[in-house]
Amino acid sequence: MLNQYETVFIATPVLSENQMKEAVQKFKKVITDNSGEIVHEENWGLKKLAYPIQKSRLAFITWLNSKAQAI
């Protein structure tokens, strides 16, 4: 039985949009290489954060819904 997970992937705005997509693809590959599956993905793009993270108020955000075995 697979457990369902939601992941919000937050990346620095210093990255280009292509670099952000590559980072998300690597994360998705880790899930699928370990017998998981991506159910749904939403790219929310560059968003203003409610509070700064490492002195940055902007971040690229991607939301993933996946299923995977519990460890």
Looking up tokens 């590959």 gives 29
Q: Which two tokens stand for residue 45?
A: 């793009």
Instruction: State residue 17's pLDDT score.
Output: 83
pLDDT at 1: 80
Residues 18 and 26: beta-carbon distance below 8 Å: no
pLDDT value at residue 70: 79
Quote the CA–CA distance of 27 and 18 in Å, as a whole number.
14
Residue with more model confidence, 12 or 1: 12
Q: Residue 6: its pLDDT value, please?
A: 95
Q: What is the pLDDT of residue 65?
A: 96
The tens digit of pLDDT for each residue in 40-62 reads 999 999 999 999 999 999 999 99
Going 71 to 25 to 54 to 65, the CA torsion angle's sign is: negative
